[in-house]
């Protein structure tokens, strides 16, 4: 069986990527990590979906970035800064602020960078710092057991 990521990029190769390209993959990485963590809660599918939607939006991602900023290494902070400063040339969604949207893009760029460079342990460490397991149980019908 082949690897999920067939070629791990060097840090230099990843830094040469457009920050929006890093955010493109990082958005999916964040969504996958969120859904994986929520699945472990044992909640009903509807509660899982509602909780995932609440965590995978610009405001929630901006808040997550604020939690991990003090933990970032200089090169990670630089990737996040570049991601937050990138202009996507499309309007910010109506229900999000430009500030939150920019910060969410910064977080997604960082997640994409860590994923593409194969830094899975660091990716997990930062995700867990941003979204501790004790905050995982969705509201409402918690468990179906």
Active site residues: 27
N- to C-terminal Cα separation, the chain? 35
**CA separation for the pair 4, 46 (Å, rounded):** 28
Contacts of 131 (CB under 8 A, 6+ apart): 33, 34, 37, 55, 64
**CA separation for the pair 53, 45 (Å, rounded):** 12
């Amino acid at each position: 069986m082949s690897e999920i990521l067939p070629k791990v990029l060097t840090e230099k190769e990843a830094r040469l990527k457009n920050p929006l390209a890093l955010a493109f993959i990082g958005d999916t990485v964040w969504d996958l990590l969120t859904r994986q963590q929520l699945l472990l809660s044992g909640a009903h599918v509807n509660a899982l979906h509602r909780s995932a939607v609440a965590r995978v939006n610009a405001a929630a991602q901006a808040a997550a970035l604020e939690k991990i900023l003090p933990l970032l290494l200089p090169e990670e902070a630089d990737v996040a800064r570049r991601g937050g400063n990138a202009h996507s040339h499309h309007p910010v969604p109506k229900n999000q602020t430009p500030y939150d949207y920019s910060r969410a893009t910064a977080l997604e760029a960082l997640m994409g960078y860590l994923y593409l460079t194969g830094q899975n342990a660091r990716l997990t460490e930062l995700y867990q710092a941003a979204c501790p397991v004790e905050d995982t149980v969705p509201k409402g019908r918690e468990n179906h057991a």
